[in-house]
Every structure is written in C-alpha cells, then in structure tokens.
C-alpha cells in the first residue's frame, strides 16, 4: 500500500521510531509480539443520501501493553470513529482491530471507555455509577462496592460515594467516569477527549491526575485529544492523523522522563515533540 510506504518514510524522517519499523512495512508479517493492540489498515465510511463519505483511509498502528498513546488530528477527522472501531462499537468497512491477537468484532469488556461527556446515570449515586460494570458482569454486591470505593479513592473522590451526579462539577463527574472505566480492570482504556468539556485550569489538573492514576494502574491507554501540549504531556507516543479521510501521517515519540510534572512543559524536550506534531498537522492540512 502506498499509504503505508509514505507513512513509513515520513515517520522515519520525522521521528526516531525504530522499534515498530517492522510493522510499518507490512501487516502480513504479523506475529506474536509485544503489541497488545494492533490496528490494521482500517477503512471506514458512512453512507450519505447522495454519496459515500469516507472517514478513515487505511489507519494502521500498534500499541504496546502499558503504553500511553495519544491520537491528535484536526477536528472532524475521524478520531472518535477510530476509537469507536477500536472499542468494537462500530465495524470497519475494511481492515481489522486485534486485541491480544484476537479480532475485535463486537464491543467487549476488555476495554474501558471514557466519553467526552461524563455519561453518568443520573439516578445512581456516584459509587453505584462506578460499580455499574461490576453489576453488569454479576460481581457480588459487597465486592463490587468495595472495588468502587477503592477506585473513587484513587481518583480523589472519597466522601462523594453517596452523592448524585447532578451535584458534581464537570471535572468531578469525569473522574467518576474514569473510575467506572477502570473498575472492571479492562486491558485497554479508551479516552475520547475526556477533558474536552472542561475549563483550562481543571483540564491541566485532570491531566496530572490521569498520569498519577495511569502510573498506579499501569493501564494501556489510547486517548483522543485535540490539544498538542496535552498529548505531549501525557503520551509515550503521539499518533498524528491527517484530515478526513484520515490516516496516520506521523508518529512522534515523547522521550520525557516520568513521572512528569507540570514543570516539564517549559523544557526543550517538551517543545521538540510538540513542534514535530504541529509540523505534521500543518503538512497534512496543506497537502491535498
């Protein structure tokens, strides 16, 4: 596929990306490796009354176990669609998603999802919201509540167990959603612009919180965001998507030491990957 070839060329030029070289050359070489999640040449489109609207055009990437990967791209490029495909909520036109070597062909408990809006059940208390995944998979009630409370403590919401979502701020509600996504211990955490609806200050604090939680749980995370600094701050690796129909136009490794603090944003090693991402976005936007 020419798309893959040009991806590989660009990536090679832009980034020091050695360890995934073999997969860039072709999916046919797929064999058991360290990657937990493989996305192989995903194509997706929607039928419109008058035409076919392509959304994804051959998206391929891999994510290793324990890795934090951010997807950035222009708005409306299909980031959310991509995440929904990874979650199995929608089926691609062609290509496939492999989780642990098994094709994802339907939604599964192996992923935890956080949507852009908190998406809590208003009639359930905070702890009952967090315990929902366990209730669905029929975990005994006592154990479910214990786990839910432990997760609430992790996201810093101890004392709000009996509160109803209507009484929470946007940031708190999103923490509840995060706790709920983690409570059944999924293999992969999918975050769809989870801080998109929050104000800048809360957003920064939430990013720090997310890193702390990620460190504590060592989850594999794929997060969609449209904020370049946020992506660099959080991720091990940032995948840059082009405009619709989207494909991966660049992969940028972020070699910032962990644990990261807010101070890291002023450093040179922060600026460099951020610039690379911006350049890749601009290049993709200007090329037809």
Partner 1 sequence: MTGRIGSRIALALLGLTIFLALWQGIIWLRGYPAFILPPPAAVMARLWELVADGSLWFHAGATLQEVLAGLGLGALAATLLGYGLAHSPVAERLLAPYIVASQSVPVVAVAPLLVIWFGTGLLSKVLVSALIVFFPILVNTIVGVRSVGRNLRDLMRALEATRWQVVWLLELPAALPVLLGGLKVGATLAVIGAVVGEFVASDRGLGYLLKQGQQLYDTPLVFVGIGALVVMAQSLYGTVALLERGVVRWRET
DSSP calls for 39-83 = EEEEEEEEE-SSSEEEEEEEEEEEEETT-EEEEE--TTSSHHHHH
For the chain, what is the radius of gyration of the CA atoms? 19
* Residue 113 is a binding residue for partner 1 (CB under 8 A): yes
Contact status, residue 45 vs residue 93, Cβ threshold 8 Å: yes
Question: Is residue 135 a contact residue for partner 1 (CB under 8 A)?
Answer: yes
88 part of the interface to partner 1, by CB under 8 A: yes
Our finding on whether 46 is near partner 1 (CB under 8 A) is no
Stretch that binds partner 1, among 65-73, 116-124, 217-225, 237-245 (CB under 8 A): 116-124
Tokens of 283: 């290049």
Applying CB under 8 A, the span of 37-45, 101-109, 231-239, 254-262 interacting with partner 1 comes to 101-109
Which whole-number Å values give the CA distances from 205 to 25, 223, 259, in the listed order?
Answer: 39, 16, 15
Tell me if 187 contacts partner 1 by CB under 8 A. no
Please select the residue that binds partner 1; options are 3, 93, 119, 202, rule is CB under 8 A.
119
Q: Which of 134, 151, 153 lies closest to 142, judged by CA? A: 134
What does the DSSP 8-state code read for residue 130?
H
Task: Tell me how far, at minimum, the Cβ of 179 lies from partner 1, in Å.
Answer: 14
Which among 6-14, 41-49, 121-129, 225-233 is the span making contact with partner 1, rule CB under 8 A?
121-129
What mask of x and - would describe binding to partner 1 in positions 138 to 177, judged by CB under 8 A? --------------------------x-xx----------
Closest by Cα among 256, 169, 159 to 205 = 169
Which residues contact partner 1 (rule: CB under 8 A)?
A: 84, 87-89, 107-109, 111, 113, 115, 117, 119, 121-124, 132-133, 135-137, 164, 166-167, 184
């Amino acid at each position: 596929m020419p798309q893959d070839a040009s991806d590989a060329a660009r990536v090679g030029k832009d980034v020091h990306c050695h360890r995934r070289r073999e997969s860039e050359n072709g999916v046919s070489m797929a064999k058991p490796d360290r990657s937990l999640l493989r996305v192989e040449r995903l194509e997706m489109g929607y039928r419109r009354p008058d035409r076919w609207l392509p959304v994804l055009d051959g998206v391929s990437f891999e994510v290793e176990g324990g890795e934090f990967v951010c997807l950035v791209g222009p708005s409306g490029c299909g980031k959310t669609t991509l995440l929904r495909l990874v979650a199995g909520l929608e089926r691609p036109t062609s290509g496939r998603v492999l989780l642990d070597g098994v094709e994802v062909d339907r939604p599964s408990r192996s992923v935890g999802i956080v949507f852009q809006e908190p998406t809590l059940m208003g009639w359930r208390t905070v702890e009952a919201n967090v315990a929902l995944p366990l209730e669905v998979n029929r975990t005994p009630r006592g154990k479910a509540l214990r786990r839910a409370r432990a997760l609430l403590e992790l996201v810093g919401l101890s004392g709000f167990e009996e509160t109803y979502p209507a009484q929470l701020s946007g940031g708190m509600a999103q923490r509840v959603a995060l706790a709920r996504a983690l409570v059944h211990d999924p293999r992969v955490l999918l975050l769809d612009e989870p801080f998109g609806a929050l104000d800048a200050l809360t957003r920064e604090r939430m990013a720090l919180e997310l890193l702390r939680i990620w460190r504590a749980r060592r989850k594999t995370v794929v997060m969609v965001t449209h904020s370049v600094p946020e992506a660099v701050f959080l991720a091990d690796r940032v995948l840059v998507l082009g405009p619709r129909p989207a494909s991966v136009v660049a992969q940028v490794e972020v070699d910032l030491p962990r644990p990261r603090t807010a101070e890291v944003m002023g450093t040179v090693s922060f600026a460099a990957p951020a610039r690379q991402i911006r350049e890749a976005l601009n290049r993709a936007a200007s090329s037809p």
